[in-house]
């Protein structure tokens, strides 16, 4: 636990983020709960450990994490941003029955925009599916 905390601090520093209690706790939550949570999911759990936690802090922290490349923001559904600590290239699948957002491996993606000779700049790429997962489809 102490070890773990040192580790979390190191991750934050690596991304140029000054560690605070709140930032450490939020990072720990994201690492241990890889459920692509929204703000409410993060806040409602953490506020039990830290009763003075403000929702604004959760917003501020996740904006900071995203700006510094520590997390990604997912727009897989309307009216709600999801957050992902996994930042290597992968897509998502949201099951409309069980509501779980699954990671999806991308083996090959070839578009006019991700070609080598594309002259613009790409900041972000997002591949999302919606449907029924294997378990729910039966």
Partner DNA sequence: CTCGCAATTTAGAATAATTATAATACTATT
Partner DNA sequence: AATAGTATTATAATTATTCTAAATTGCGAG
**113 contributes a contact to a second copy by CB under 8 A:** yes
What is the footprint of DNA within residues 72-111 (CB under 7 A)?
78-81
Contact 73, 87 (CB under 8 A): no
Q: Which is nearer to a second copy, 22 or 128 (CB)?
A: 128
Among positions 11, 31, 35, 39, the unique one binding DNA when judged by CB under 7 A: 39
**96 contributes a contact to a second copy by CB under 8 A:** yes
Contact 74, 83 (CB under 8 A): yes
Stretch that binds DNA, among 27-35, 55-63, 93-101, 123-131 (CB under 7 A): 55-63
How many Cα atoms sit within 13 Å of 137 on the Cβ side?
A: 7
- What CA–CA distance (Å, rounded) separates 105 from 112? 21
């Amino acid at each position: 636990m102490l070890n773990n905390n040192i580790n979390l601090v190191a991750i934050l520093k690596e991304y140029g983020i000054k560690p605070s209690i709140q930032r450490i706790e939020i990072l720990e939550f994201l690492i241990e709960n890889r459920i692509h949570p929204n703000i409410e999911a993060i806040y409602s759990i953490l506020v039990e450990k830290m009763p003075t936690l403000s929702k604004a802090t959760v917003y501020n922290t996740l904006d900071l994490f995203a700006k510094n490349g520590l997390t990604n923001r997912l727009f897989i559904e309307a009216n709600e941003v999801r957050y992902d600590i996994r930042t290597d290239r992968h897509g998502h699948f949201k099951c409309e029955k069980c509501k779980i957002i699954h990671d999806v491996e991308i083996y090959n993606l070839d578009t006019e925009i991700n070609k080598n000779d594309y002259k613009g700049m790409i900041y972000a790429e997002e591949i999302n599916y919606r449907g029924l997962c294997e378990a729910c489809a039966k």
